[in-house]
A and B are shown apart, each in its own frame.
Chain A
Amino acid sequence: MTTTKEPRENELAKRVDKAQYLVVAVLVAVGAFLIYNALTLETGFAKVDPVGPRFFPLVVGIAAVLLGVVLAIAIPRGSVGEADAGEDIDPESPGDWRTVGMLVGLFVAMILLVNPLGWVVMGTIFFGGAATILGSKHYVRNFVIGLALSLASFYAFYSGLGIPLPAGILDGIL
């Protein structure tokens, strides 16, 4: 009896994907925030609104926490989600989180600097930087394409669509 059961347990242990507890954490955090936020709302404005502004966030918040609990129970039992596949994706690779981290860093720079530096400068850095991080070795060409795209989009949005993207430090030149 015991000999037949052991390999099965090993198999299960191997398939447990501990990183999924991140999803549990997100669900519980979202749920807790919604419940807390809902309880700060004023109710009883109108008798004909028996549901009130609290009901919906409370239901969603409680559902989020419950689903987090269910997932937390399901994970050690070997429940795994099927990661997204695709033509450009090498599912065997362990995951290159350094690249993702650098892209996120670039994105944060974009958020902070797009207004002071302007769309054209930041767009050039953004595209060129992203292409370089993703492994394109033609460094000059990366930034030239970025500049072309940023300039084209700046003028297309400015004169074509009437949306002024920030000019930043190049204000007056563009």
Chain B
Amino acid sequence: MENIDWLIQGFEQAATPMNLLYAVIGVLLGTAVGVLPGIGPAMTVALLLPITYNVSPSAAFIMFAGIFYGGMYGGSTTSILLNTPGESSSVITAIEGNKMAKAGRAAQALATAAIGSFVAGTIGTALLVLFAPAVSRFAVTLGAPSYLAIMLFALVAVTAVLGSSKLRGAISLVLGLAIGIVGIDFLTGQPRATFGIPQLSDGIDIVVIAVAIFALGEALWVAAHLRRRPAQVIPVGRPWMGKDDWKRSWKPWLRGTAYGFPFGALPAGGAELPTFLSYITEKKLSKHPEEFGKGAIEGVAGPEAANNASAAGTLVPMLSLGLPTNATAAVMLTAFVSYGIQPGPTLFDKEPLLIWTLIASLFIGNFLLLVLKLLRTPRPYLYAGILFFATLGAFAVNVQPLDLALLLVFGLLGLMMRRFGLPVLPLIIGVILGPRIERQLRQSLQLGAGDWGSLFTEPVAIVTYVLMAVLLIVPLVLKLMHRDEETLLIVEDDKDQREKAQA
């Protein structure tokens, strides 16, 4: 109950007009920078960090939270409208969200993302206040073998479950893993696959890869097939969610939150995994599975909620242990330290302030109507603009032309993948998780004194491997059973034709 008292005090502190104003400014700035394609929350927070130095610490913290949520929201906006996710965690949102936008349902996609984020953020923050100590106690017990198992599970799930062709999913995954190898080996310090270029020692920036594969690859692919005749006018549709949209959204919001928060709280859990899991779950449970891949609202609602709940969950290890679990949290930690605030249990009383900032982020809804007009800009300007901002985003990371060359190389890779129907997602997952899997594997073995059996000592790890096996074997069994029917049909077909030929 002590937590609740703190919560009330937090509200009293945060709800002064001046602090609310800071929150609104933060959200506006965060959204404005976050909507730039290729700029995700982590980059937004990092870029805007200096601005918060000029105000008092508590106001700075409130403003900072506003930037964080605004940046997240801006990131999902570009995913939906331009198919350019700024961060790996909004990749999934782009899949269905962009399809919805192209089908004239951009307003509904943005609305379900916004409200889903709000619901998940509120629940997540409440969970943070109520259960943070217990959750962090559980998270701490998981060792390297469990994380290894969970990450391998993610790879298998993404490659085998999503997409129509498993061969092409695997090709995409392997290409991603290959990109992830570039850089210095973390244990022995040797450069691997760097072509002797020193700038590649730190690996290839994920922002460059994401912008190249998504924005540049898409723009080049469209350029190759652009309709020269004007296409039919995009139906604008209703500006707000209909009753059916609400009905189809609220369960994915809650399920997404349930996935997102625990994973966010896990060190190395991150937001990627729960967004995939949420997407897969919604695809399985949906009453409209045929809409998936064409713009299903569940595919936006669930992953966006998971994304935001995970962001709230991320604060658990960050505040209680001082352990950042993703790029955004790492930047936030830098900020805390620069304000002279030591992350730890004492911070929990200040945490409810985030809720108010979160509510403020809803004001942004109106601002988004401006962005909606992007869909009506002439096509040459839209795609020239995507190329321009993709270049700007990739160039601004390090201000070196080498990043632009990488952008072009991976942009051409993205073009190739679109031409030959290779799914994009496994590649991105491979780039993100590949290095982390290698690190966990080698660290687990180091801790286990080189004994491979030590990988199977933790119950969570064993359960995950069993789930993985089930995931791989069940579709095979189903296919075999299905094939029996198919072969029967073909035989019948042949008989039929033979009879006809004879006749």
Which A residues lie at the B interface, using CB under 8 A? Answer: 1, 3-4, 17, 19-20, 22-23, 26-27, 30-31, 33-34, 37-38, 41-42, 45-53, 56-57, 60-61, 63-64, 67, 70-71, 74, 79-84, 86-91, 93, 95-97, 99-100, 103-104, 107-108, 110-112, 114-115, 119, 123, 126-127, 130-136, 142, 145-146, 149, 153, 157, 161-166
Contact = CB atoms under 8 A, between A and B. Distances in A.
A22 B220 contact: no
B445 A107 contact: no
A91 B380 CA distance: 18
A135 B378 CA distance: 10
Nearest to A51: B442
A159 to B, nearest CB: 11
Contacts of A83: 418-421
Interface stretch (B180-188, B272-280, B334-342, B474-482): B180-188
Nearest to B424: A84
Closest 6 CB pairs of A and B: A81-B421, A136-B380, A134-B380, A130-B384, A131-B384, A87-B102
A41 B189 CA distance: 10
A99 B185 contact: no
Interface stretch (B107-115, B349-357, B399-407): B399-407
A112 B50 CA distance: 32
A25 to B, nearest CB: 11
A108 B441 CA distance: 40
Nearest to B405: A111
Contacts of A165: 395-396, 399
B399 A164 contact: yes
A57 B181 contact: yes
Contacts of A57: 181, 192-193
Given A34-B178, A48-B445, A81-B165, A136 B378 contact: yes
A84 B387 CA distance: 19
A96 B180 CA distance: 32
A90 B227 contact: yes
B226 A99 contact: yes
B222 A135 contact: no
B129 interface: no
Contacts of B388: 123, 126-127, 130, 146, 149
Given A67-B167, A86-B102, A100-B220, 14 more contacts: A4-B498, A41-B185, A60-B178, A67-B170, A71-B167, A80-B421, A81-B421, A82-B164, A87-B231, A88-B379, A95-B224, A111-B404, A127-B388, A157-B392
A27 B226 contact: no
Nearest to B29: A160
Contacts of A97: 224
Nearest to A88: B222
A74 B168 CA distance: 11
Nearest to A66: B174
Nearest to B423: A81
Interface string B381-393: 1011101100110
8 contacts: A23-B171, A90-B226, A107-B408, A119-B395, A123-B392, A136-B381, A149-B385, A162-B50
A120 to B, nearest CB: 12
A42 B415 CA distance: 36
A130 B387 contact: yes
Contacts of A46: 187, 446
- Contact residue range for chain B? 35 or more
B226 A135 contact: yes
Contacts of A30: 174-175, 178
Greatest chain B CB density within 10 A among A45, A47, A56, A74 is at A56
Contacts of A135: 226, 228, 379-380
A85 to B, nearest CB: 9
Contacts of B50: 162
B178 A153 contact: no
Nearest to B381: A131
Contacts of B177: 60, 63
B418 A84 contact: yes
A127 B234 CA distance: 25
Contacts of B381: 131, 136, 145
A1 B167 contact: no
A63 B174 contact: yes
A111 B102 contact: no
Contacts of A157: 392, 396
Nearest to A107: B408
B227 A88 contact: yes
Contacts of A163: 47, 396, 399
B449 interface: yes
Greatest chain A CB density within 10 A among B164, B420, B450 is at B420
Given A87-B102, A87-B234, A41 B192 contact: yes
